[in-house]
Amino acid sequence: MPDATTTKPESSQPQGPIRLHIGGWEVREGWKILDIQPREGVDFLGTCIDLSQFPDNSITEIYASHVYEHLSYSGELAPALREAYRVLKPGGLIRIGVPDLEVLCRLLLDSRLPLDDRFQVQRMIYGGQVDAHDFHKVGLTFEFLRAFLRQVGFQNIQRVKFFGLFKDATYVEVHGVPISLNVTAIKPV
């Protein structure tokens, strides 16, 4: 099995601006997938904390659905967002979906929900824990995520209902309540 820092052969290295789907599963024309685990459809192996395989200002757009909550708030999240900022072209867009801690806490404490459903909400807070990469290390609200994004220089930070790009966790609902915090931000020109 290749090491997580290994990339595809030199011919697969980025050739000009690309759209990067971090942690993606759905192969889509015009997008390249970066993931920590090798599998079919992955174009680049690595983590969102270290995007050194991509030059500065080489990516036009980043999409990350339910990825950044897997990072430690004390030493991984800010560096990962700095890396995203670095590789984005000026004017580049980042789309981030993460579990909305505020919504999940309300659902977890709602005694009207069946216990099994509240347990599933707890799994959304702490991760599914099906493998070593499926643990959540940070809970994010819009205010927390906005502060992290501002800290590294992102602007025009907006909360959005849906992205409409991929079929993923950004659409998950519990009892009709969307549980994903979906945010867009721009690297200033």
Q: What is the 3-state secondary structure (H, E, C) of 10-66?
A: HHHCCCCCEEEEECCCCCCCCEEEEECCCCCCCCEECECCECCCCCCCCEEEEEEEC
pTM, rounded to two decimals? 0.89
Q: What band does 133 get if pLDDT is binned at 50, 70 and 90?
A: confident
Mean per-residue pLDDT over the chain, rounded: 91
Average pLDDT over residues 67-81: 96
Q: What is the mean pLDDT of residues 50-66?
A: 97
Residue 16's pLDDT is 57
Domains, the chain, ordered by start: 10-186 (3.40.50.150)
Task: Note whether 44 and 52 are within 8 A (CB).
Answer: no
Task: Supply the DSSP symbol for 68.
Answer: G
Q: What is the pLDDT of residues 1-44, one digit of tens each?
A: 334 444 443 334 545 569 999 999 999 999 999 999 999 999 99
Q: What's the confidence (pLDDT) of residue 22?
A: 98
**Type and span of the H or E element at 174:** strand 173-174
**Mean pLDDT (whole number) for 107-136:** 94
Q: 82, 106, 94: which is closest to 182 by C-alpha?
A: 94
The 3-class SS string of 98-140 reads EEEHHHHHHHHCCCCCCHHHHHHHHHHHHCCCCCCCCCCCCCE
